[in-house]
Amino acid sequence: MSATGIESLAARRAGRPDANAPELAADERRERLHLFGLSLPALLVIGIVAFLPTAWLFWLSFIDEGSFSLAHYERMVREASYLRIFWSTFEISAVVTVIAILLGYPLAYLLSQLSERAASLLLILVLVPFWTSLLVRTYAWLVLLQRRGVINDWLQGLGLVDAPLRLVHNYTGTLIGMTHIMLPFLILPTYAALRTIDRDYLKAAASLGASPLRAFWTVFFPLSLPGLMAGALLVFVLCLGFYVTPALLGGGRVLLVSMKIQQNAGMYFEWGAASAMGVILLVATLGIFWGLGRLVSLDRVMGER
Amino acid sequence: MASNRASVSIAFRSISKHYGTFKALDRIELEIEAGEFLTLLGPSGSGKTTLLMLLAGFARPSSGVIEVAGSDITRMPPHRRDFGVVFQNYALFPHMSVTENVGYPLRMRRCPREEIDRRVADALELVQLGHLAERRIDQLSGGQRQRIALARAVVFSPRVLLMDEPLSALDKKLREQMQIEIRHLHERLGITTIYVTHDQREALTMSDRVAVIDGGRLIQLEEPASLYAHPATRFVADFIGESTLLPVARQAGRFAYGEQPVSIANPVPPGAGEHWLVVRPERLVLLDGAAPDGINRFTGTVEDVVFQGETLLARVRLATGDMLSLRRDTRREVMAGLPRTGEPISLGLAAEETVIVPERAP
Amino acid sequence: MHEPFVPHSRRLWLYAFAALVLVFLVAPVFIVIPMSFSGAQFLTFPPESFSLRWYRNYLESPEWLAATWISLKAAVLTTLVATPLGIAAAYGLNASRTRLATMAQVALVTPLLIPVIILGVGVFYLYVQIGLVNTLLGLVLAHSILAIPFVMVTVTAGLRQFDLNQERVARSLGATRLRAFMTVTLPQLRNSIVAGGLFAFITSLDEVVIALFISSGPQSTLTRRMFSGLRDQVDPTIAAVSSLLIVLSVALLGTAQLLQRRR
């Protein structure tokens, strides 16, 4: 028995049963610590393999020729080639997001109007590509879009074009591939949000004299916005750091932040430059995820109502 | 399978439980006799379930001592306390059959196979569900699950039986039937039982004594009949049974309702704050003419009369503006004697039936 | 029942549009599989002749088989590392409910939020210093940082559905905390755990970017080999490998989905 134990035993004998607070608090702390300790192996692996190197990159981005410096960041602001890379990354992410909304929202809307059974059957068609390795899907687009690929075959066979179109190893191919990969990330959260909207709202709007189109725009669409925004932000942020698909389908004609980081680190061993770009990408990504977290909790609040 | 162990007493000594600055329990002092059926009664959030969790060992108090049979078990882990627990949602293990569920505590105690089989069969017999031994849990009705949970909690002859709102998920008829069965089970086993409920009628029906808990404090500890007849505070009077509370003031050493002095034959419990006259609707009598001595008189007009089957409830607006409720049985001659809506009425409350309570305990 | 709010005839354009989007979504996946059975050197759809030559090519190539073997080893080991770690973390943090625990929960899913390219560069930099480049251990650890969050999230979701009173009752009935977990909680989390394990396996198997940095030459994973094959020239053998991967992913993740729903 610990010293405090003996003391409190004495105090209790003296008629003070509440004198055992310190030892009970110690028990409580010990139990909490044991439970928390169960997460330590996982925290250790992730801390060492994920956070430590990320922190290291952060550090490296401020080191030039052995001393503290903002040189890497200055270069990024000064050099037109870097600015262009940031701009095209931002641009292609925005374009993919917009296309994904235009393609995904109507589909999500339609699915939300179907019976639960029919919708979950059709959702399989969204999930199968979602579950398929993105490398495999990128490969599929390569095969479909190349000069002697399936699409060009068909277009020529139908007499729509005389010479094969350049569909891949350029901006177009990158856009098609990225949109395809990202589309499920938009459809799934949007669909989930649309499902929770009570159809009685639309009936109420109609009974109050709104045309179906007007009812949609004034009632349904605003209610679906949080889900749609969550999906759109997710797509946008995933595009910002996307590497595999643009690297394979862009054919070197599209240069994004992720690819420049890979070049700097993997080919030229320019850790400083790679780190500085990485830090900017990381800050942007985590910032958007933070905003997304706020939005999704908002979404949940609305869902509970 | 009657418990061959002597039943044990329990004592809470200055038990407090704080979450940050919030006091879930505040210096609870409570002694429970060996073999007693004690109910912890209180509204939700009062701390009654917390107290039960502390006793079971699922949480620990911030300070204070819990004693069982005279020895301190405050820091003992739950698996060594030897208590049977029944939860509101039964918490039966869905991946085990009825037999496996009931045998679980015996397997944990490494009892020999034959003994497990025999005691499980006895326990199932005790709750009259021997024929369901091989069923899966999801094949049982709510009432059956309740009994299996009970069998599992007593099969190992625990020292104490703890029940946390065990009947609240059942419908009214089944609940009333189970109340009586649990009561019988307690009489047969003689096991010290702590029962948590927010249903005051259930508490009055089942218990040897009721501990009323509110805001983390023990407000009153009493046998059901005297708890009903002599509430200690306004909260208890309001929470237990049906009552109307009328504000009274102390004037020259006695209490008065408005200008009218109140005759009272019961001591007023000590306390703080304003005082209230507790009027139970079934204790009122109809007066015609003047009130005899020792009867408090209330006059007013009948606001409405609601027929509720075996009884009816009449609401009366007093001259002071306060409302009073009167409950009568619905025999023809009683109903015929009642004034109708809008008519004047005169009600009497005998001094022996008159109770005045303080706003809160001292 | 489910009566459409607008008559079907007036929203035909919506049906047509949605159908086109669905075709866009599934077409690549469903075109790769038939093409993998093509008999020709150039991939066309529909294939002019059918054969198993690209599958034979795959099975007879020591490089492809070696890469497959490395990927499978990494995926199995990642599952074996990530699943127990993820379960322990999910249980401990779910039960302790402190601010620190909430922060740890956030920290443990953060690897999924960091762009993989940054993790790739970072892990590469770390491994260069400690000599883990091109090792199976390095690969397994790196894949675990992506797999642990999946297991933790899946098991935490399972625990939220699980009635913790069951574990309490088990403890009062005489089981220690560990024994109560093993006999009562764990069997009921089975579906979530299997689902989490399947996520972990597929996460490792499909991972490309980190492998690009830390596995090369004879230590190349399957995806890394595919990536190089795609950059250099489009080898139809990849169609065969891809088809196998599609079938495997859809089967495993479909199972995971069903298990989670049945919880």
- Among chain A residues, the shortest Cα distance to C242 is held by A136
Residue A297 has pLDDT above 60, yes or no: no
- Average pLDDT rounded to a whole number, residues C88-103: 91
Tell me what pLDDT residue A13 has.
Answer: 57
Binary contact (A150, C209; C-beta < 8 A):
no
- Among chain B residues, the shortest Cα distance to C189 is held by B95
The strand order across the sheet containing B83-86 reads B83-86, B160-164, B192-197, B37-41, B209-214, B217-222
- Among chain A residues, the shortest Cα distance to C132 is held by A49
Binary contact (A24, B16; C-beta < 8 A):
no
Element (H or E) spanning B13, and its range? strand B10-19
Terminal CA-CA length for chain C = 28
- Average pLDDT rounded to a whole number, residues B108-118: 95
Say if A24 is an interface residue toward chain B (CB within 8 Å): yes
- Among chain C residues, the shortest Cα distance to A118 is held by C2
Give chain A's domains with CATH numbers: 1-33 (no CATH), 80-304 (1.10.3720.10)
Query: Distances in Å between the alpha carbon of B231 and those of B99, B265, B289, B348?
Result: 45, 15, 31, 20
pLDDT band at A9 (very low <50, low <70, confident <90, very high): low
**Nearest Cα to Cα of residue C86 among C136, C157, C181:** C157
- Among chain C residues, the shortest Cα distance to A104 is held by C21
Chain C hits for B152, Cβ within 8 Å: 169, 173
pLDDT band at C176 (very low <50, low <70, confident <90, very high): very high
Token pair for B66: 């819990």
pLDDT band at B40 (very low <50, low <70, confident <90, very high): very high
Which one of B81, B89, B156 has the shortest CB-CB distance to C165?
B89
Tell me what pLDDT residue C46 has.
Answer: 72
Residue C2 has pLDDT above 50, yes or no: no
Beta-strand runs (E) in chain A = 63-64, 67-68
Chain B hits for A24, Cβ within 8 Å: 60-63, 74-75
Chain A hits for C96, Cβ within 8 Å: 32, 35-36
Residue C179 has pLDDT above 50, yes or no: yes
C50–chain A nearest CA distance, Å: 17
Do B353 and B267 touch, CB atoms closer than 8 A? Answer: no
A residues 278..297 contacting C (CB < 8 A): 278, 281-282, 285-286, 289
Binary contact (B75, A21; C-beta < 8 A):
no
Chain C hits for B89, Cβ within 8 Å: 163, 165
- Average pLDDT rounded to a whole number, residues B235-247: 92
pLDDT band at C1 (very low <50, low <70, confident <90, very high): very low
Query: Measured between alpha carbons, how far is C24 from C47 in angstroms, rounded to an integer?
Result: 20
Query: Measured between alpha carbons, how far is A47 from A53 in angstroms, rounded to an integer?
Result: 9
Interface test with A, best of B13, B23, B63, B75 (most A CBs within 10 A): B63
Percent of chain C with pLDDT over 70: 93
pLDDT band at A12 (very low <50, low <70, confident <90, very high): low
Query: Measured between alpha carbons, how far is B128 from B121 in angstroms, rounded to an integer?
Result: 10
Residue C216 has pLDDT above 80, yes or no: yes
Interface test with B, best of A4, A8, A20, A23 (most B CBs within 10 A): A20
Binary contact (A49, C227; C-beta < 8 A):
no
Q: Write phi, then psi, for B319 (nearest 5 degrees).
A: -60, -30
* Chain centroid offset of residue A88 CA: 19
Binary contact (C188, B56; C-beta < 8 A):
no
For A40-78, the pLDDT digits (tens) are: 999 999 999 999 999 999 998 998 888 888 888 988 888
Binary contact (B63, A27; C-beta < 8 A):
no
Binary contact (A135, C208; C-beta < 8 A):
yes
Which one of B82, B91, B104 has the shortest CB-CB distance to C165?
B91
Higher pLDDT, B5 or B322: B322
pLDDT band at B336 (very low <50, low <70, confident <90, very high): confident
Contact partners, residue B130, CB within 8 Å, separation at least 6: B121, B124
| pTM of the shown model | 0.86
- Average pLDDT rounded to a whole number, residues B348-361: 90
pLDDT band at B334 (very low <50, low <70, confident <90, very high): confident
**Nearest Cα to Cα of residue A176 among A87, A89, A92:** A92
Binary contact (A17, B75; C-beta < 8 A):
no
Q: Which of A203-207, A274-278, B169-173 has the least mean pLDDT?
A: A203-207
For A149-180, the pLDDT digits (tens) are: 888 888 888 888 888 888 888 999 999 999 99
Interface test with A, best of C1, C17, C21 (most A CBs within 10 A): C21
- Among chain B residues, the shortest Cα distance to A20 is held by B63
Which one of C163, C183, C187 has the shortest CB-CB distance to B89?
C163
Tell me the CATH number of domain C62-262, given options 3.40.630.10, 1.10.150.120, 1.20.80.30, 1.10.3720.10: 1.10.3720.10
Chains that touch B (3 or more CB pairs under 8 A): A, C
Say if B23 is an interface residue toward chain A (CB within 8 Å): no
Higher pLDDT, B336 or C253: C253
Chain C hits for B92, Cβ within 8 Å: 166
Token pair for A47: 């801390």
Domain layout of chain C by residue ranges: 62-262
Which one of B13, B14, B61 has the shortest CB-CB distance to A24?
B61
Query: Measured between alpha carbons, how far is B359 from B270 in angstroms, rounded to an integer?
Result: 10
Chain B hits for A18, Cβ within 8 Å: 13-14, 16, 27, 63-65
Residue B237 has pLDDT above 90, yes or no: yes
Tell me what pLDDT residue A5 has.
Answer: 53
**Nearest Cα to Cα of residue A189 among A259, A258, A257, A238:** A238
